[in-house]
């Protein structure tokens, strides 16, 4: 069982068609996290994506994972714009791009009000205006190091039409999280030709319906409380009942396929809908359950 695999080019950076998205590496000590990334590299994944919230700082983590692998692209999915100013982000991204040519992708996002205000102590601004101002400052920033004059590719966390337009106009593409193939088709149309559309897709590998429901519920529980995701689902026709805490079975089925075969099929649906890259998130019992076996099973099914 395999799906179509090809290259997703961002200048000299080849994401491949299939990658991994994981928040679980923070659960491992640094040496073990590096070993896990090396294993993903050996399995043949195109890229590894990871977020930034309560664990490791995004650029530091990216350096750790890049140095632990040989060809794997490392992508922040996402680096929070409230985590550092635009000058710092520009310098860090260019430094990584120079140190690991063709292997780093900068994913940027505005995160969510609770994480920004409660965790970081910042005022959460209007998402599109905040991101536009941040990109303006990045592009205007001086960078006087001996190398890194060409910035690495950047993509934006984008769900709604206005942020997708910004990703089209000011970035190399978009990185939507927790979306359906129908959203992927709309995003692909909004971005247009020549842009990267790197879509995250969560999967529960167990075929047991109760296990699937429990893991999908735990995964969606936080996101159903965040307006960014709720509004996106409402645009697709889901209701308040669907967006109840943990999500209705209808929402679970739309966002988290059950079993390996269904997961592989969903990846192909995103590709058929216009995604240029799909990063698979294998769900365990908790966000800190590192799915080594699941990655291996998916690699056997998805990768050539």
d(CA 30, CA 47): 19
Whole-number pLDDT of residue 120: 83
The dihedral sign for the CA sequence 63, 149, 133, 230? negative
SS3 110: coil
Helix (H) or strand (E) holding 34: helix 30-43
User: What does the pLDDT profile of the chain (304 residues) look like in tens digits?
Assistant: 334 434 566 778 999 999 999 999 999 999 999 999 999 999 999 999 999 988 999 999 999 999 999 999 999 999 999 999 999 999 999 999 999 999 999 999 998 777 777 878 889 999 999 999 999 999 999 999 999 999 999 999 999 999 999 999 999 999 999 999 999 999 999 999 999 999 999 999 999 999 999 999 999 999 999 999 999 999 999 999 999 999 999 999 999 999 999 999 999 999 999 999 999 999 998 888 999 999 999 999 999 8
d(CA 170, CA 249): 37
pTM metric for this prediction: 0.94
d(CA 242, CA 51): 26
The dihedral sign for the CA sequence 63, 64, 68, 74? negative
Q: What residue spans define the domains of the chain?
A: 9-302
CATH label, 9-302, candidates 3.30.450.20, 3.30.200.20, 3.20.20.30, 3.40.50.880: 3.20.20.30
Whole-number pLDDT of residue 228: 93
């Amino acid at each position: 069982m395999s799906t179509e695999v090809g290259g997703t080019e961002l200048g000299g950076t080849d994401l491949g068609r299939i990658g991994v998205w994981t928040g679980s590496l923070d659960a491992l000590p640094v040496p073990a996290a590096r070993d896990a990334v090396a294993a993903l590299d050996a399995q043949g994944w195109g890229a590894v994506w990871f977020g930034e919230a309560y664990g490791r700082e995004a650029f530091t983590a990216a350096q750790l994972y890049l140095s632990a692998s040989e060809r794997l692209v490392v992508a922040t999915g996402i680096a929070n714009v409230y985590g550092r100013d635009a000058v710092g982000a520009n310098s860090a991204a260019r430094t990584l791009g120079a140190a690991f040519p063709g292997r780093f992708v900068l994913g940027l996002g505005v995160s969510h009000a609770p994480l920004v205000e409660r965790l970081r102590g910042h005022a959460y601004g209007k998402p599109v205006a905040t991101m536009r101002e941040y990109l303006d400052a990045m592009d205007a920033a001086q960078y006087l190091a001996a190398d890194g004059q060409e910035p690495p590719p950047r993509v934006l966390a984008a769900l709604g039409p206005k942020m997708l337009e910004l990703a089209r106009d000011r970035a190399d593409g978009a990185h939507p999280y927790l979306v359906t193939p129908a959203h992927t088709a709309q995003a692909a149309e909004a971005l247009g030709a020549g842009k990267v559309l790197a879509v995250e897709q969560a999967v529960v590998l167990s075929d047991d319906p109760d296990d699937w429901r429990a893991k999908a519920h735990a995964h969606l529980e936080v996101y159903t409380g965040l307006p960014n995701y709720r509004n996106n689902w409402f645009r697709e026709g889901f209701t308040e009942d669907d967006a109840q805490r943990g999500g209705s079975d209808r929402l679970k089925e739309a966002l988290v396929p059950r079993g390996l075969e269904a997961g592989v099929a969903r990846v192909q649906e995103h590709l058929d809908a216009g995604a240029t890259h799909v990063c698979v998130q294998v769900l365990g019992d908790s966000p800190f359950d590192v799915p080594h076996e699941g990655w291996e099973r998916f690699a056997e099914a998805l990768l050539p």
